Structure 1
Amino acid sequence: MNSQAMYHQTMPDIAAQTASARQTLDWVGMSNIDVPLLIEGQPSSGKVDAGVSLDDESARGIHMSRLYLALQKLAQEPLSPCLIKEVLNDFLLSHTGLSQRASLRISSALLLQRPALISALSGWKAYPITIDANLDSKGLHLELGLTLAYSSTCPCSAALARQLIQQRFARDFNSATIDFEHVHAWLGSTDGILATPHSQRSTAHMRLRLEPQMTDFAIQSVIDRAERALGTPVQTAVKRADEQAFALANGQNLMFCEDAARRLDLTLREQPGITGFTLKVTHAESLHAHDAVAHSSWNWGFPA
């Protein structure tokens, strides 16, 4: 036997030592591992948390390098529930006798090209996602997290602005003969339209429990349905015609945070492959320094 082989044979394996305190651990692993991903045809970079339970109370630790090496499969194939289950199963096989549960969390973003409302322009928009997966004796458990940005215009603010415009109209035309040209010019001036409702950039956070038998995550399908329900997703590249169309969409789509939460709730219940969800919408108000927030859930329990 050469000296190098003898050296490797005698290298200490501290993790195999007996623990000083006999105690099982719920989760042991690594976080913030960089992994390249292919998500719905889009190359992406991801951060992964990977771990297993430590069920052998006498074992001092797990073999973290085995988890790291098993993650390399995520870079070789399109991301799917089947691939994730395979990786989690590798976690457990590499820790036979030590662990009974395996888990991973993937954090990334799906980059989608979105067209402008009117013009031929388009631009890219990133949608942050998380995928939480667990494998135990009961099978695979999957959750998909999504974050969407949209615009919301306050119905109360819109009503108050209309009232001010009505009052100014009554003042300016109370004793005058109504003339089309005069009114037309008045409507296009700041003297006439003296008040506007306040709008805010708003955010929807969704966590979806998925059927483990799904062949793909259908992320874009969920995004498209949710944006249609909300009606005013934030835009990318725009010309003035697109900006005007966006103003029109907001004016015809007044909503409180409660309205947005109800729309998403109804839409998600109809999405194939979802067995439960929790959602939170946040309207970052321009009137107040605080936010308006609404939660909803289905087959989940009260949201955390």
Structure 2
Amino acid sequence: MSHPPLPDVAAQHLNSTTPLDWVGMCGIAMPMQIGGRLVAATADAGVNLVDGNSRGIHMSRLYLALENLEQEPLRPLLLRRLLASFLNSHDGQSSAAYVRLSYQHLLKRPALVSPLAGWKSYDVEIHARIEHEMFHVELSVSIPYSSTCPCSAALARQLIQRQFQARFGIGNVDSDEVVAWLGTSEGIVATPHSQRSMAKISVRLEDNHPDLPITEVIDKAEQALGTAVQTAVKRADEQAFALANGQNLMFCEDAARRVYGALRAVEWSKAFKVRVEHAESLHAHDAVATAQWQWNITSEA
């Protein structure tokens, strides 16, 4: 006995309706291949709906197309094929397709001095879209680092100078006695304030770039900042980290300029924007600086 076909309400045509900019799904749990291994990811997938008579899209077609992301390593070409399949499955209904992938990018990082190493996790988003028959890919990554306030450091140095004068006065002093005194809490009477900070970077890749340079973005930013947060450490590493902070005093403005300069030096960046946030330990609010290059000029979103 044959059964009648199942009703497809989404395929119904209306006499007239409003086109929609984006229709799809958010928060789809899925695996995808990054760096030769499967990672847990979250996907948002959608298309526009330009057919003024279509009631809706076929979301299951988008969902099933995402399975391709676990079959081969994630590259711009794969994303382009994925978005093309979104459009092919909605021929006559849609002219633009979008996907956003979010996951935790794990990198094993060595300690500064000792032979220890540990894993760091970075929040990454990959945005890809086809609009106006043009394909675009953007990478967004959040990079934690430490920042020590230059003003606070200068004020701390002044207090140490005053403490020195109060203890030794003016004239000849015994160097051994000074060295011993500097190793006490009486000698270093003040320290500058520092805080965990975050650089949030979005990069639009050049057209036809073959890879997703996620690790390279992270490396460039951490090298420019000089104070990447650490994983496993011994006391020697902690001392080296204190030295790195002392040699890289920076306001949020300094940090934003450092990252900006590092990204301007790469060849695969078509545009980028940088936002740094210093979670102040002195104030109850954060200090923020932003910078961008070509972003407004090339952005269609």
TM-score class normalised by the smaller sequence: over 0.9
Distance 1:115 1:171 in 2: 43
Q: Deviations over 1:159-185 (max 9, x none)?
A: 000000000100110167511222111
Is 1:76 matched with 2:79? no
After superposition, residues 170-189 of structure 1 pair within 5 angstroms as: 170-174=165-169, 178-189=173-184
Is 1:65 matched with 2:60? yes
Name the residue aligned to 1:215: 210
State the secondary structure of the residue aligned to 1:44.
strand
Name the residue aligned to 2:45: 50
1:226 counterpart (195, 200, 221)? 221
Distance 1:20 1:192 in 2: 83
Is 1:241 matched with 2:232? no
1:139 counterpart (109, 112, 134)? 134
Q: Deviations over 1:59-104 (max 9, x none)?
A: 1000000000000000111110010111111111111111111110
Is 1:92 matched with 2:87? yes
> How many positions carry a matched residue from both structures?
299
Amino acid of the structure 2 residue aligned with 1:98: Q
Is 1:253 matched with 2:248? yes
State the secondary structure of the residue aligned to 1:109.
strand
Is 1:148 matched with 2:143? yes
Is 1:291 matched with 2:294? no
Identity %, equivalent residues: 56
Q: Deviations over 1:213-254 (max 9, x none)?
A: 011111111111111000000000000000000001101110
Give the conservation status (yes or no) of the 8 Å contact 1:186–1:192.
yes
Amino acid of the structure 2 residue aligned with 1:206: I
After superposition, residues 111-130 of structure 1 pair within 5 angstroms as: 111-130=106-125
Amino acid of the structure 1 residue aligned with 2:118: G
Shift of 1:285: 0.7
Distance 1:74 1:295 in 2: 33
Give the conservation status (yes or no) of the 8 Å contact 1:101–1:134.
yes
Name the residue aligned to 2:270: 275
Distance 2:194 2:292 in 1: 26
TM-score by length of 1: 0.95
Give the conservation status (yes or no) of the 8 Å contact 1:81–1:212.
no
Quote the RMSD (CA, aligned, Å).
1.6
Amino acid of the structure 2 residue aligned with 1:12: P
Structure 1 gaps of 5+ residues are none
Give the conservation status (yes or no) of the 8 Å contact 2:38–2:70.
no
TM-score by length of 2: 0.96
Give the conservation status (yes or no) of the 8 Å contact 1:42–1:111.
no
**Residue range with higher mean Cα deviation, 215-224 or 12-21:** 12-21
Distance 1:277 1:90 in 2: 28
Distance 2:296 2:284 in 1: 30
State the secondary structure of the residue aligned to 1:258.
helix
Distance 1:90 1:138 in 2: 14
Give the conservation status (yes or no) of the 8 Å contact 2:144–2:198.
yes
Distance 2:172 2:261 in 1: 50
1:41 counterpart (26, 36, 44)? 36
Amino acid of the structure 2 residue aligned with 1:140: F
State the secondary structure of the residue aligned to 1:43.
strand
Is 1:205 matched with 2:200? yes
Structure 2 gaps of 5+ residues are none
Give the conservation status (yes or no) of the 8 Å contact 1:51–1:103.
yes
Distance 2:107 2:116 in 1: 14
Give the conservation status (yes or no) of the 8 Å contact 2:140–2:202.
yes
Q: Deviations over 1:243-285 (max 9, x none)?
A: 0000011011101100010011111111121111111000101
Is 1:300 matched with 2:295? yes
State the secondary structure of the residue aligned to 1:301.
helix
